[in-house]
């Protein structure tokens, strides 16, 4: 017959001091942009902006704005325009005129795109047709970002 019962004490483990955090929203996009702290004004265009806007501010960007609608873009108001989500190539074709107008001389645009080669080629053609130069593709963390620049030379725009 059992007269004594001993309970074995399980040693307690201390919780790790640094719990793994989920990745920052838009981290791959921000990583592909490079340094954002020297940009005069960054403009996010489209639906997916508030989380990315906060991430850019935490990354050191001095001025960030978010517009859902491209109708209100002002001329020469941004040094970097980011399009985190392209609805369709046709939508982008209509918006690129306004983006080009909103960018300062030597400004740049960054567009997050699907990884389909046909989409990449179509957007490259659109960027070239709208006068953008130095078109590059950055692939980081499962994200593909097309970036291009507005040249500082060329015809002056008239409003």
Collapsed DSSP state (helix, strand, coil) of residue 7: coil
Q: What is the pLDDT of residues 141-153, one digit of tens each?
A: 667 888 999 987 6
Residue pair 116/74 in contact (Cβ under 8 Å)? The answer is no
DSSP 8-72: PPPPPPPPPSSPPPPPPTTHHHHHHH---TT-S-EEEESSS-HHHHHHHHHTT-S-EEEES-GGG
CA distance 93 to 126: 7
The pLDDT assigned to 24 comes to: 60
Beta bridge partners of 140: 143
Is the confidence at residue 1, as pLDDT, over 80?
no
Residue pair 112/29 in contact (Cβ under 8 Å)? The answer is yes
**How many CB atoms within 10 Å of residue 78?**
27
* Structural domains for the chain: 27-149 (3.40.50.150)
- Token readout for 127 is 């960027």
At which residue do the structure tokens 């001389």 appear?
105
CA distance 32 to 138: 6
Q: What is the pLDDT of residues 25-80, one digit of tens each?
A: 567 777 778 888 888 898 988 877 788 888 888 888 888 988 888 887 888 888 99
CA distance 157 to 159: 6
């Amino acid at each position: 017959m059992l007269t004594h019962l001993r309970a074995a004490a399980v040693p307690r483990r201390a919780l790790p001091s640094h719990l793994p955090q989920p990745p920052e929203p838009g981290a791959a996009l921000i990583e592909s942009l490079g340094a954002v702290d020297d940009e005069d004004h960054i403009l996010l265009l489209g639906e997916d902006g508030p989380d990315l806007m906060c991430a850019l501010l935490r990354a050191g960007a001095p001025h960030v704005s978010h517009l859902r609608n491209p109708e209100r873009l002002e001329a020469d108001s941004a040094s970097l325009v980011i399009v985190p989500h392209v609805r369709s190539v046709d939508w982008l074709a209509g918006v690129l005129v306004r983006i080009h107008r909103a960018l300062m001389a030597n400004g740049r645009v960054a567009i997050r795109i699907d990884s389909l080669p046909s989409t990449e080629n179509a957007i490259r053609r659109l960027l070239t047709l709208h006068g953008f130069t130095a078109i590059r593709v950055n692939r980081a963390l499962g994200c593909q970002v097309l970036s291009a620049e507005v040249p500082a030379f060329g015809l002056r725009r008239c409003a």
